[in-house]
């Protein structure tokens, strides 16, 4: 693809210190451990580099895919004929009083640990979520009754036209697995989070308690993308899947976890096609048994990603 060759040359010149690779296997960069090669793969180390890469992509008529930790995506086996930008190199974070300031690529685990070290409560739930802050903001990540929206003060975001704006909590329009970043086609660059003081030991104890719950109930020893489906109105996806008798259902190397029906796992050697086929079969059988059509929470990437350029 001529645009990609030209974009590669421009990125080499403009961002000589960024990690830039051609034909980079996405299986190395997604928690499902599947996915073929990205034509171009870039890991910028700061917001300015990310913004410059986005501008260059637009100038070369290339629609990039953005990833944080690759924890909630399914990349195609055929690969991605575009530029993939992975933000986890942008991982600065600090605390001032009861406010945390963090770049989009910092992991939620590290952010929760930073809060605990400063005796600040409000992010214990995020310690076990395997994504980055940017991805978490995009989907308003949450667990155990808490969500990122509860702590966000403001988000600095890059808009599709290359301008940078600041969105306060109200402007972020947080909802269940939703934020304004999706509707705006914007990319989170950094955020500020307001937390509350508490005993560091008490915070650590709550984090340990939640991690013990995760370990007891979730298949953490297998590659997955976390919860495969969004919570349907008036119920829970895992319960519907279990009631349909689908625990252990297998397609190739992909399986409905026998430990937690809400997780599709890679038992070893699964392809993205295996996972996609299993997701479709779960949807079909659950709809037959309950009348409810489950909606994937996992973002399924086509070979070329158009539209909103953020995934995580």
Q: Which residues are catalytic?
A: 177, 227, 297
Residues sharing a CB contact under 8 Å with residue 269, sequence separation 6 or more, in sequence order: 252, 253
Q: What are phi and psi of 114, to 5 degrees?
A: -60, -45
Nearest to 83 by CA among 305, 312, 308: 305
Q: Could you report how far apart the first and last alpha carbons of the chain are, in Å?
A: 25
* Rounded to 5°, angle at Cα 91 from 86 and 96: 150
Question: Cα torsion for 207, 212, 213, 215, to the nearest 10°?
Answer: 120
Half-sphere exposure of 20 (CA within 13 A, CB side): 18
Return the DSSP state at 229. B
Residues sharing a CB contact under 8 Å with residue 96, sequence separation 6 or more, in sequence order: none
For every residue of 246-310, DSSP letters joined together read -TT-EETTEEE-SS-TTEEEE-SS--HHHHHHHHHHHHHHHHHHHS----BSSEE--SS--SS-B
Nearest to 34 by CA among 219, 220, 224, 218: 224
CB 71 within 8 A of CB 130: yes
Query: How far apart, in Å, are the Cα atoms of 298 and each of 40, 186, 268?
Result: 23, 19, 19
């Amino acid at each position: 693809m001529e645009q990609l060759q030209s974009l590669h040359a421009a990125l080499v010149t403009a961002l000589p210190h960024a990690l830039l690779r051609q034909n980079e296997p996405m299986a190395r960069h997604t928690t499902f451990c599947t996915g073929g090669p990205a034509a171009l793969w870039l890991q910028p180390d700061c917001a300015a580099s990310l913004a410059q890469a986005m501008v260059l992509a637009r100038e070369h008529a290339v629609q990039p895919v953005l990833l944080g930790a690759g924890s909630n995506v399914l990349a195609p086996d055929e690969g991605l004929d575009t530029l993939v930008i992975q933000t986890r190199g942008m991982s600065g974070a600090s605390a001032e009083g009861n406010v945390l300031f963090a770049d989009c690529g910092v992991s939620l685990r590290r952010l929760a640990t930073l809060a605990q070290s400063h005796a600040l409560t409000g992010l214990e739930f995020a310690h076990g979520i395997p994504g980055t802050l940017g991805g978490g903001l995009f989907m308003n990540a949450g667990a155990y009754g808490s969500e990122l929206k509860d702590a966000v003060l403001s988000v600095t975001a890059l808009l599709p036209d290359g301008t940078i704006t600041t969105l306060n909590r109200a402007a972020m329009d947080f909802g269940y697995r939703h934020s304004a970043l999706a509707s705006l086609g914007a990319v989170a660059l950094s955020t500020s989070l307001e937390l509350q003081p508490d005993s560091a030991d008490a915070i650590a104890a709550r984090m340990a308690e939640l991690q013990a719950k995760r370990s007891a109930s979730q298949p953490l020893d297998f590659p997955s993308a976390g919860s495969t489906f969004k919570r349907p109105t008036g119920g829970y996806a895992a319960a519907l899947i279990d009631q349909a008798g689908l625990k252990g259902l297998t397609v190739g190397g992909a399986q409905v976890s026998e430990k937690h029906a809400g997780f599709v796992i890679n038992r070893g050697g699964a392809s993205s096609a295996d996972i996609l086929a299993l997701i479709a079969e779960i949807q079909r059988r659950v709809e037959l048994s309950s009348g409810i059509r489950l909606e994937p929470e996992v973002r399924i990437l086509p070979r070329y990603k158009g539209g909103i350029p953020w995934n995580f």
